[in-house]
Amino acid sequence: MSMSRRSLLQMVGLAAGTTAMYQAMTTLGYAQASNYAGPIKLEGDPQGAKVLILGAGLAGMTAALEMRAAGYEVEIIEYREKAGGRCWTLRGGDSYTELGGATQEVEFAEGNYLNPGPWRIPHHHYAVLDYCKRLGVKLEPFIQKNYNAYLHRSEAFDGKPQRFREIATDYRGQISELLAKATDQGALDEEVTEEDKQKLLDSLVEYGMLDENYRYVKSDHTSEYRGYDKWPGGGLNAAPEPSEPISLDRILQSDLWTWLVEAETTHHQSTMFQPAGGMDMIAQGFEREVGDLITYNAKVLSMIEDENGVTVEYEDLEGGGTQTRTGDYCICTIPFSILGQIDHNLSGDKAAVIDSMYYAGSAKFGLEFKRRFWEQDEHIYGGITYTDLPIALISYPPYDFFSDGPGVLLGGYAWGATAYQFNAMQPDERTKWAVEYGSRIHPQYTEEFSNGVSVVWHKVPWVLGCYGIWQDREADYETAARIDGRIALAGEHISYLPGWQEGAILSALDAVERLHAQVTTSNAGDTQ
């Protein structure tokens, strides 16, 4: 009898518990960062059970795709006129109306876009990447770290943006010099053995680009890392001229070092991806599969379960009045910020967790310019400039390099107190500020700005924020994730990956597996 790798793992899991299973999976090269273990297989016959799925975001559509494949009758109810939820892209010709009624008509040129929500995919978000592959969504590199982009603080270097390359290289060199000197002078003799001491010095010379006297100085060698005053060329007068490093005290005082590790967390390390053409290519991929199951423009009013099934009432926003749908089970992916306002009869402790979750605010700006001046004038191709200005960052489009037409920057991505203030502004006013702040980094803004669109997440009518914030995740998580009766809750909010699409999909897959186990177990009971 042959045994698949997955069924072997299931046996190990059943016999020895999840720790042993995880170890076995790691040995087989399966489990790494994300707990996605390949496409789920739902064995057992649901015997035509019907599932209502509330919300056609990635969680809801994942659940729909897998449950229909397993033999369920599936129906999705969605508030918006299209699928995807926060997996969302704004392009030229799109119109977006926020709470309060302000409507923005997006004027971007063909091919340009803003991803107001998720905009990058880590290489270890295996579930998202696998669904992209299965759904035929073309991925391209997302550039997180660019040595030629800037670090900027209004009070540092006279407000003049500094190239990431120079700050990162000089800081590394300067602290290596300090450490090498301290080591050489015996300051660390109690910390390192004599043998390791020499290795440490050798490594600091290498790592910190130091000279034979353990100094980080202006030289061809350091310029090879930090850049030259005159870069090497060909032909006559082609010899390079080295550049002067920035002193340690200036770097320390500038506080620009605060961003040096931005691209170092596992969520931002290379390789990162984005769907070619906009994040909602993933939504469109799912919609091709399950779009026929979706009722759009349907605002859920109530979700009531009893021993026989689940009844959902919704308002048909196209004038069809109140409608009722029933199912044997329900997977509800409605954000808790909305679910807390819907009539439901979930258990009291679950309701309390739902009511305790508010959603973070944030603001994102898409600014279109007549030409790609960041490429043409400053040789910045993708990547991110960080600033202490309220826009927080500028991200350069990692697609359509060198094209002549207009380009769209992510002109700001604000959080916290700053986001609240952007949230309270009308769209034109927000854009005006984003252009002002960006112009302090790129003076070309003044001449080249064409049009802009912004999304402030507390004003997004169908979520009231960008991701769920737990009051006490340790205490409340199991309560939210547990299936009491016939309703399972899912979405990015029920994950340890808040705000990431991977969290939404993994949460949905886990809910589907547990619900399916419950359904097939109770079906088996029925037939006995």
* Residue 309 sits in the site that holds other proteins (CB under 8 A): no
Pairing mode of beta strands 298-305, 310-316: antiparallel
166 vs 156: CA distance, rounded Å: 14
Phi first, then psi, for residue 114 (nearest 5°) are -125, 135
CB 113 within 8 A of CB 89: yes
* Residue 389 sits in the site that holds other proteins (CB under 8 A): yes
Which residue in the set 22, 147, 207, 358 belongs to the binding site for other proteins (CB under 8 A)? 358
* Residue 71 sits in the site that holds other proteins (CB under 8 A): no
CB 102 within 8 A of CB 431: no
Which residue in the set 150, 445, 470, 500 belongs to the binding site for other proteins (CB under 8 A)? 445
506 vs 261: CA distance, rounded Å: 28
* Residue 456 sits in the site that holds other proteins (CB under 8 A): yes
Query: What is the closest distance, in whole angstroms, from the C-beta atom of residue 179 to other proteins in the complex?
Result: 24
528 vs 526: CA distance, rounded Å: 6
Which residue in the set 3, 11, 20, 99 belongs to the binding site for other proteins (CB under 8 A)? 99
* Radius of gyration of the CA atoms of the chain, in A: 27
* Residue 340 sits in the site that holds other proteins (CB under 8 A): yes
- H/E element, 420: helix 416-423
* Residue 155 sits in the site that holds other proteins (CB under 8 A): yes
* Residue 421 sits in the site that holds other proteins (CB under 8 A): yes
3-state helix, strand, coil in the chain (%, to 5): 40, 20, 40
Binding mask 187-226 for other proteins (x = CB under 8 A): ----------------------------------------
- Tokens coding 303: 């979700």
Could you tell me which stretch among 3-11, 35-43, 216-224, 452-460 binds other proteins (CB under 8 A)? 452-460
Contacts 24+ apart (CB under 8 A), 300-304: 300/54, 300/77, 300/79, 300/334, 300/342, 301/342, 301/343, 302/342, 302/343, 302/344, 303/54, 303/330, 303/332, 303/342, 303/343, 303/344, 303/487, 304/343, 304/344, 304/345
* Residue 465 sits in the site that holds other proteins (CB under 8 A): yes
* Residue 249 sits in the site that holds other proteins (CB under 8 A): yes
CA dihedral 27, 496, 278, 419 (to 10 degrees): -150
Token pair 């090497």 is found at 232
Could you tell me which stretch among 104-112, 182-190, 220-228, 454-462 binds other proteins (CB under 8 A)? 454-462
CA distance to 330, 406, 515, per residue, from 49 (Å)? 11, 52, 11
Nearer to other proteins, 130 or 436 (CB): 436
Which residue in the set 6, 165, 250, 473 belongs to the binding site for other proteins (CB under 8 A)? 250
Contacts of 441 (CB under 8 A, 6+ apart): 150, 152, 161, 385, 387, 389, 394
* Residue 330 sits in the site that holds other proteins (CB under 8 A): no
* Residue 79 sits in the site that holds other proteins (CB under 8 A): yes
Which residue in the set 253, 258, 347, 376 belongs to the binding site for other proteins (CB under 8 A)? 253
* Residue 489 sits in the site that holds other proteins (CB under 8 A): no
Read off the DSSP letter of residue 153.
-
Which residue in the set 108, 396, 433, 470 belongs to the binding site for other proteins (CB under 8 A)? 433
Helix (H, G, I), strand (E, B) or coil at 261: coil
Which residue in the set 200, 409, 463, 508 belongs to the binding site for other proteins (CB under 8 A)? 463
Query: What is the closest distance, in whole angstroms, from the C-beta atom of residue 245 to other proteins in the complex?
Result: 17
Phi first, then psi, for residue 525 (nearest 5°) are -65, -40
Nearer to other proteins, 205 or 352 (CB): 352
Nearer to other proteins, 424 or 524 (CB): 424
Could you tell me which stretch among 28-36, 175-183, 386-394, 402-410 binds other proteins (CB under 8 A)? 386-394
Instruction: Tell me which residues touch other proteins (CB under 8 A).
Output: 79, 99-100, 154-155, 158-160, 249-250, 253, 255, 299-300, 334, 337-338, 340-342, 355, 358-361, 388-390, 416-418, 420-421, 423-425, 432-433, 435-437, 439-440, 443, 445-446, 456, 458-465, 469
